[in-house]
Amino acid sequence: MIGSLLYLTASRPDILFSVCLCARFQASPRESHLIAVKRIFRYLRDTPCLGLWYPRDSTFNLHAYSDADYGGCKIDRKSTSGTCQFLGSMLISWFSKKQNSVALSTTEAGYISLGSCCAQVLWMNQQLLDYGIKVETIPLKCDNTSAICLTKNPIQHSRTKHIEIRHHFIRDHVLKEDVVIEYVYTLNQLADIFTKPLDKERFWSLRRELGLASLS
């Protein structure tokens, strides 16, 4: 059941967080996990025509959203990173993943998520160059002001020494102006749908903003 749902997340980003959360318990599933998976199937049954809509007149401006849920996993207290990348108004890439290490603050969790998002958009930028499309500066939108300040400060402070060096590469690209980190209000943070469970109204609103529409 999880394998089928993971295959479906390639075109249905609205179920990505829920499916990835259930996938963490495949080694030792409980009855509660089966109930959660069946609930996802009921949601899919009620929305069979929902899919991503790519308008032909969309621009090719690459931009991305990055978010993190601090200590969301109740078992090991690891945070969840969620990012989504847009080409104009078209959602072209997204992921939801539990971080490898335990973040000691919301700043660190957001900073690690920003690093993952930066690596993804830089790869996409190179792909666009291969097609002859040049993007000058890529905006990365985050709702964590402390994480944004950390990306713009090249000085290694004592409070950030525990963060792995591989996450600090984003500073070089910010200084080179390959990417620019922009603050976005939490209500406008589209990556929220990939990091935490949401109420119905918030979920529907973000689903619409991602470009999911009825294709019937």
pLDDT for 51: 92
Distance from first CA to last CA of the chain, Å, rounded? 26
pLDDT grade for 212, boundaries at 50, 70 and 90: very high
Q: Which residues of 111-127 are buried (b: 16+ CB within 10 A; e: fewer)?
A: bbbbbbbbbbbeebbee
- Which CATH superfamily is 62-192 part of? Ribonuclease H-like superfamily/Ribonuclease H (3.30.420.10)
Task: Give the pLDDT confidence of 152-199 residue by residue, as tens digits.
Answer: 875 555 456 556 566 667 877 787 788 999 999 999 999 999 999 999
Strand partners, 81: 68, 97
- How far is residue 47's CA from residue 129's CA, in Å, rounded to a whole number? 37
Q: What is the DSSP letter of 54?
A: -
Domain ranges of the chain: 1-48, 62-192
Vertex 27 angle, CA 25 and 28, to 5°: 70
Alpha helices in the chain, H assignment, sequence order: 2-8, 16-23, 31-46, 106-130, 145-152, 169-175, 200-209
Task: Give the pLDDT confidence of 32-76 residue by residue, as tens digits.
Answer: 999 999 999 999 999 999 999 898 888 889 999 999 999 888 888
